[in-house]
Amino acid sequence: MKKTLITAAFLGLPLVTNAALPDTPVPFKSGAGVIADGVIYIGLGTAGQNWYSLDTKAENPTWNEIQAFPGQPRDQAQAVVLDNKIYVFGGMGKKDASASVISVRNEVYCYDIANNSWEQVMTRSPLGLGGHAAVTIDGQNAIFVGSVNKAIFDGFFEDTEACKNDKQALAAINAAYVGKKTQDYFFMADILAYNAKANAWSNLGRSPNKGTAGSALAVNDDGTATVIGGEIKPGLRTAKTLQFNVDKYGVISFTQTPDMVAPHNESVQEGVAGAFAGSIDNVVVVAGGANFPGSTQAYAQGKNFAHEGKTKTWRDEIYTYANGEWNEVGSLPLPLGYGVTIDNGDELLLIGGETTNGVATSKIYSIKLQDGKVAVSQ
């Protein structure tokens, strides 16, 4: 691993450089996005069924609307480039236009970049994929980490819809949903893989950590994947991190890595869900996300409804992991999470997301490592 010294010279005060890319066409959060041959593609989430492209190599990059997504709108789908096509997996949305509630989706869609056309792939993920993270290491296989449990998640929304006019029943349903222990949500701990050429799924192994939803996932140049944080039950995050490698035979090996460090002005790292993450020069960079301060202590004290009375807090901290250490190295210009991270050579592009109170943004931020310091630009 290349050793890069990261200092905290900009802790709480990001270095801002010149603007480069235009705002997204609509305020954009909870969507999916990728980069292929220097062109960024984003869609779903608050963009609905719309998808847009932007050529970063153009003299004056502009967003263009491309063919619309053929399935139902959805949040938290994940997109991966395989065999020069864009594959979109899962998400949370309605089964069809007539459905009254959302559910965890397991469909796969493919966008042919050359022909500007979509098709639904004749497959389904073996487990529902909602709140999952996805990457590719080799351009042939998509790898998935984390997800809520489809049966429990779908059942909750079906039950609340059925009892929507009965306040007493609704209160009981909600209390049962938030009052479980972490292990009773059955979040996905299996690491799944999908091979585009074979149109086949496989199970690469089971994480030694608890199943999560909303984890961040980054891949170094050597193929090492790092899993950061995520939810371990509604309202409760984890500070745990983990690395894994997959060999050519599909065998996975895990390495337990240190917990994220606490923010400089706080005594506890609550963990984050919905954070941005990627790798620059084999340094893992994690930014933003959201958590409920105080929920970790409450759960440790035996309160299963750990985030009761706690305030959801969007974060602005930037962390790096290199040489076996986590460090807080700076901050974003505003609290931000649940956007799309694009690995673009020597920078990470943070596209859209939501800030305090869930307000969607159209901004694009760039994170670079310059002279051992973190640099953030818009």
Fold type of domain 32-275: Neuraminidase (2.120.10)
- Per-residue pLDDT, 247: 87
- 15 confidence band (pLDDT: 50, 70, 90): very low
Residue 169: strand, helix, or coil: helix
- Per-residue pLDDT, 11: 39
Would you list the domain boundaries of the chain?
Answer: 32-275
- 373 confidence band (pLDDT: 50, 70, 90): confident
Q: What mean pLDDT is predicted for residues 221-228?
A: 96
Helix H or strand E encompassing 178: helix 167-178
Structural tokens at position 138: 């080799």
Given 107, 231, 328, 347, the catalytic residue:
231
Least confident of 16-30, 189-203, 232-246: 16-30
Q: Hey, CA dihedral for 165, 169, 173, 179, is it positive or negative?
A: positive
At 312-334, the pLDDT tens digits run 999 999 999 999 999 999 999 99
Helix H or strand E encompassing 156: helix 150-162
- 17 confidence band (pLDDT: 50, 70, 90): very low
Q: What mean pLDDT is predicted for residues 261-270?
A: 96
325 catalytically annotated: no
Contact, 45 vs 102, CB < 8 A?
A: no
- For the packed helices 150-162 and 167-178, what is the interaxial angle rounded to 10 degrees? 160
Amino acid at 152: I
Residue 56 has pLDDT above 80, yes or no: yes
β-strands 241-246, 225-228 pairing: antiparallel
- 370 confidence band (pLDDT: 50, 70, 90): confident
At 160-178, the pLDDT tens digits run 999 999 999 999 999 999 9
Residue 290 has pLDDT above 80, yes or no: yes
Contact, 294 vs 312, CB < 8 A?
A: no
Mean pLDDT of the chain: 93
DSSP for 284-347?
A: EEEE--EE-TTHHHHHHTT-SSTTTTPPPEE--EEEEEETTEEEEEEE-SS--BSSEEEEETTE
- Per-residue pLDDT, 248: 77
CA distance 91 to 74: 6
Residue predicted with more confidence, 1 or 317: 317
CA distance 232 to 181: 9
Contact, 295 vs 237, CB < 8 A?
A: yes
Using CB atoms within 10 Å of the CB of residue 83, give its burial: 0 to 12 exposed, 13 to 18 middle, 19+ buried: exposed
